Amino acid sequence: MLRLWRAAAATTGLLFAIVLVFAAGVGGSATASITLDDTSETIATALLDHTNNLVTGHYVLLVSVFLLIVFVGYLRSAVVPEEGDTWPAQIGFGGGLVAAGVLSIIALIGIAQGQIADYGADPVIARTLATLGWSGMWITAPGLAALTAGMSLTSLTFDTLPRYVGWLGALAAILLLTPFWGIGFMFGLLWMAIVSVTLTVRELRTSEG
């Protein structure tokens, strides 16, 4: 039974990536047609016209936060052998929690946008909230970089994951700390999905044995 629970925990990495992309698609539709060069009135109108999408997308984002917390907790134990030095994995675990915290703040901003029924004579508030929301994913990058770097270094050191997975995570971590962080973010999600599937299969095979 314990192995089945571990297998379920292993799936949360893949689920996180899927749910996060879905949340971004739903919540991001509210700001897809506007830029920060638009007037505050235009931004306010766009946010008010997509209130339901904003709220739904960012509540779904909170679900992805839960999945990420479960996954990094499981991953810390999955990539470290019993007698191994765990400091890189601890960095990865901390980075995952930081990323989860930033995503929670992004969700808070998005939900707050959805609670406003009328910006009245002060639409600059809409610009402020939209700017914070747009900046949020970039602020997630350092935590995600620490997660992918720490766990990848651990897996490469102890051969607890296929080596190509470790190198993919290392590449994602480097890109996340550069102006190409958007590409690194996608590589990070891909890394997480591959790790999740790999460990899920391993746990299921172990439970059958």
Residue 64 backbone dihedrals phi, psi, to 5 degrees: -65, -30
Cα–chain-centroid distance for residue 43? Answer: 26
The domains of the chain are located at 2-138+199-208
Tens digits of residue pLDDT in 45-65: 777 777 888 889 999 999 999
- pLDDT at site 85: 65
Tens digits of residue pLDDT in 146-162: 999 999 999 999 898 99
pLDDT top residue among 78 and 44: 78
pLDDT top residue among 44 and 100: 100
Tens digits of residue pLDDT in 169-184: 999 999 999 999 999 9
In the predicted structure, residue 31 carries a pLDDT above the cut 80: no
Tens digits of residue pLDDT in 107-149: 998 888 777 767 776 778 777 778 787 777 789 999 999 999 9
Q: Are 129 and 112 in contact (CB under 8 A)?
A: yes
Q: Where are the alpha helices (DSSP H) in 29-162?
A: 40-49, 51-78, 87-115, 124-158
Interacting residues of 6 by C-beta distance below 8 A, sequence separation 6+: 74, 78, 203
pLDDT top residue among 30 and 44: 44
- pLDDT at site 46: 77
- pLDDT at site 188: 97
- pLDDT at site 84: 62
In the predicted structure, residue 28 carries a pLDDT above the cut 60: yes
